[in-house]
Amino acid sequence: MNLIDTISKRMAAIGVIGLGYVGLPLIIEFHKQGFSVTGFDIDPEKVRLLNEGKGYIKHIDVSPLFAASATQPRFHATTDFSGLTNMDCILICVPTPLNKYREPDLSYVMKTTETIAQYLKKGQLVILESTTYPGTTDEDMRAVLEKTGFKAGKDFHLAFSPEREDPNNGSFSLRTTPKVVGGYTEGCLAAAKALYDTVVDRTVPVSSPKVAEATKLLENIYRSVNIALVNELKVLFDKMGIDVWEVIEAAKTKPFGFQAFYPGPGLGGHCIPIDPFYLTWKAREYDFVTRFIELAGEINTNMPDYVVSKVAEALNEVGKPVKGTKILMLGLAYKANVDDDRESPSYRLMDKLEEMGAIVSYNDPYIPIVRMTREYAKFAGRKSVEITKGFDMLLIATAHDEYRAVDFLSFGIPVVDTRHIITAKHPLVYRA
């Protein structure tokens, strides 16, 4: 039986490497469709929790994985990667961060690929989902996998299909979001498409992994550039005495030629602040400068500085310096109503304000305690506090629904609002 037939009969064993925001939804969806799924991760705590039926990402319900009969379990998690040899399809969902020089860090992808190579067998399908620059799959990964003596497209299948996760999006799920797929050969594409056809409503086949990799970069660069535009206009309109939020609301009444993007205190999440720089870095190989992308990155990266300047301005209006001021920052997550704090601008705001001598606390109903991060390890262990009086200023950094019910004006202190939570105009409310 060939791989496509094995997939169509739900007899293929699926292995997903990386049990995070991308890997977990895939595992759940393949499991729902009747596949036997194994989750691989280097983090023993994630593996332990999943095997005990417990989740660790607030908006991802892992209970469907354990709904089947306990006598015939179709899911388990493990740190033992030797089990990859028993998989028919292997999906890679590991981080692709930037290093301190804002260059691509493909160490997670390449180390994972080296591990797969140790256990690679004929007929397997290997798919990368992690966002990266064009050429990673069919050049960098293929070179490692072919050191085994196997040839991509002949002995094993190789493909790229970019993740399109949007945490806690109520309108689109993994199943209803079209899946772009690019294979190294036509046979590789057919196998990858057959696999994703079982879990998504629509697959979008493209001519190569490079096209699929570039597709994901275009999607996120498009968002980065447009967010940079409204962030720049926010600063300009503020100087002109114009409310950028009112302008956007009016502009989006046009039924064609305009899509609304909204300003904020900076970019967060694992995609938009990072992915554009993968293409910027790769472009150097072709002696090409991506000026538009880099300008957008510069604008978005500098937004926390603008917010801090508004904090200083607001405090100055009430005769207080930043140094020694007690500030309660509302929201640590990078977007509303999730517990995802990856690349959150809130960390940069805390860091900058504390460097200026402010005493900063935070509140976030979704993140009760700060987790360890690579860049801001010093904040690890800090706990969310209640929204009470006793602070000198409130700084709204995330648009959680819970904050819309708070009467911030009753505190009688300056409020710097970066998310348009407070719609009423008031002398103590500062847009940032």
Widest CA span in the chain: 77
Whole-angstrom CA distances from 96 to 65, 108, 277, 369 are: 27, 7, 11, 25
pLDDT (tens digit per residue) in 239-291: 999 999 999 999 999 999 999 999 999 998 888 889 999 999 999 999 999 99
Q: How many residues does the chain have?
A: 432
pTM of the model: 0.93
Tell the CATH topology of 208-301.
Answer: Rossmann fold (3.40.50)
More confident site: 1 or 190: 190
Could you tell me which residues come within 8 angstroms of residue 204 by beta carbon, excluding any fewer than 6 positions away? Answer: 178, 179, 180, 181
Q: Which CATH number applies to 3-205?
A: 3.40.50.720
**And the tokens for 342?**
């990856």
Q: What are phi and psi of 327, to 5 degrees?
A: -115, 130
Looking at residue 142, what is its pLDDT?
98
pLDDT for residue 374 is more than 80? no
**Which residue is it, tokens 């030629």?**
257
CA separation for the pair 264, 88 (Å, rounded):
44
pLDDT for residue 359 is more than 80? yes
What is the average per-residue pLDDT within 132-155?
Answer: 97
**And the tokens for 13?**
């064993």
CATH H superfamily, domain 302-432:
NAD(P)-binding Rossmann-like Domain (3.40.50.720)
Whole-angstrom CA distances from 219 to 83, 154, 164 are: 35, 32, 10
Residue type (1 letter), 250? A
- The pLDDT-based confidence of 82 (bands split at 50, 70, 90) is very high
CA separation for the pair 151, 119 (Å, rounded):
15
Average pLDDT, the chain: 94
Which of 89, 93, 188, 271 is catalytic? The answer is 271
- The pLDDT-based confidence of 71 (bands split at 50, 70, 90) is very low
Could you tell me which residues come within 8 angstroms of residue 4 by beta carbon, excluding any fewer than 6 positions away? Answer: 190, 191, 194
What is the average per-residue pLDDT within 148-153?
Answer: 98
pLDDT (tens digit per residue) in 301-354: 999 999 999 999 999 999 999 999 999 999 999 999 999 999 999 999 999 999
What is the average per-residue pLDDT within 203-208?
Answer: 98
Domains 3-205 and 302-432 share a fold: yes
Is 89 a known active-site residue?
no
Looking at residue 271, what is its pLDDT?
84
Nearest alpha carbon to residue 189 among 174, 175, 218, 209: 209
Nearest alpha carbon to residue 27 among 71, 79, 89: 89
pLDDT for residue 99 is more than 90? no
Q: Write out the chain in H/E/C secondary structure.
A: CCHHHHHHCCCCEEEEECCCCCHHHHHHHHHHCCCEEEEECCCHHHHHHHHCCCCCCCCCCCHHHHCCCCCCCCEEEECCHHHHHHCCEEEECCCCCECCCCCECCHHHHHHHHHHHHHCCCCCEEEECCCCCCCHHHHHHHHHHHHHCCCECCCEEEEECCCCCCCCCCCCCCCCCCEEEEECCHHHHHHHHHHHHCCCCCEEEECCHHHHHHHHHHHHHHHHHHHHHHHHHHHHHHHHCCCHHHHHHHHCCCCCCCCCCCCCCCCCCCCCCCHHHHHHHHHHHHCCCCHHHHHHHHHHHCHHHHHHHHHHHHHHHCCCCCCCCEEEEECCCCCCCCCCCCCCHHHHHHHHHHHCCCEEEEECCCCCECCCCCCCHHHCCCECCCCCCCCCEEEECCCCHHHHHCCHHHHCCCEEECCCCCCCCCCCEEEC
Residue 303 buriedness (CB in 10 A; 0-12 / 13-18 / 19+): buried
Domain ranges (residues) in the chain: 3-205, 208-301, 302-432
CA separation for the pair 109, 232 (Å, rounded):
35
